[in-house]
Amino acid sequence: MPSPDESIHPVATGAAATTVALHQKPTEDGNELVFYSGWFCPFVARAWLALEEKGVPYQYKEVNPYKKEPEFLAISPKGLVPAIKYRGKHLHESLVICDFLEEAYPETPSLYPKDPYDRAQARLAIDVVSKSFLPAFFRLLQSQEAEKQAQALEEVYQGLRKYSERIQGPFYFGTQFTLADIVLAPWAARLHRVEKHRNFSASAVGPKFEQWVAAVKGRESVRKILSEEMYYEEIYGRNLCFFIP
């Protein structure tokens, strides 16, 4: 019998399934870029959003990273998603892939603001998400004792308040949707699950954050990569979908 991790729903559904269907065929240039994805993973969503925002042609391949298939381990040594194959060469890690796409496709819409200072601020925002929000978020999900959950929840709020300080609205740098948004957007789209299971409240972070979350959820690229809620909830019950970097 397969482990629960291996028996998760195998493919994207809903709007995400429509997007996947559009990216099944090899690209005209002979599969210049193949995107290895796990539909449920928020880290995958970062790279997927970057691909959609930049309009980069890609072929989508679904992978269950818990199975650790030898073929995929040759592409991603730890067996983690996301990963890409670009002109026969492999890359993994979500932020590495996003920055690679920025440099490999300079003719497409940029994931960074033009101003050098703002670009530096975008990197600082990414750092806040990576170092202040995500570790606390993971502890919030994993903690079973009420006291530890309350402590982790307060750390989540602190991280998000720090991130929110420079939100210009509607997105981090005003009307431009950048990597400073993408780095956190997949969790914004999933916040209702921690509202349900861990008493999280976006209003406790502040009005700028609430408005940012609403804008992110309304972004076309975000809506296009989301599957049906019932399948996320199934995975959330096993604490899987937040733990694949």
- Other CB atoms closer than 10 Å to residue 78's CB: what's the count? 13
In angstroms, the CA 28 to CA 114 distance is 31
User: What angle do helix axes 229-236 and 191-198 make, rounded to 10 degrees?
Assistant: 50
185-233 per-position pLDDT tens digit = 999 998 888 898 899 999 999 999 999 999 999 999 999 999 998 888 7
Per-residue confidence of the chain (245 residues) as pLDDT tens digits? 334 466 688 899 999 999 999 999 876 665 589 999 999 999 999 999 999 999 999 999 999 888 888 989 999 999 999 999 999 999 999 999 999 999 999 999 999 999 999 999 999 999 999 999 999 999 998 888 999 999 999 999 999 999 999 999 999 999 999 999 999 999 999 888 889 889 999 999 999 999 999 999 999 999 999 999 888 877 766 554 443 33
Q: Which residues are CB-contacts of 152 (< 8 A; sequence separation ≥ 6)?
A: 136, 137, 139, 140, 143
Is residue 91 left, alpha or beta, with left meaning phi > 0 and alpha meaning psi from -120 to 50? beta
What number of residues does the chain have?
245
Domains defined for the chain, CATH in brackets:
14-104 (3.40.30.10), 116-240 (1.20.1050.10)
> Could you tell me if 178 and 112 are in contact, meaning their C-beta atoms sit under 8 angstroms apart?
yes
3-state secondary structure of 33: strand
Contacts of 240 (CB under 8 A, 6+ apart): 5, 8, 40, 66
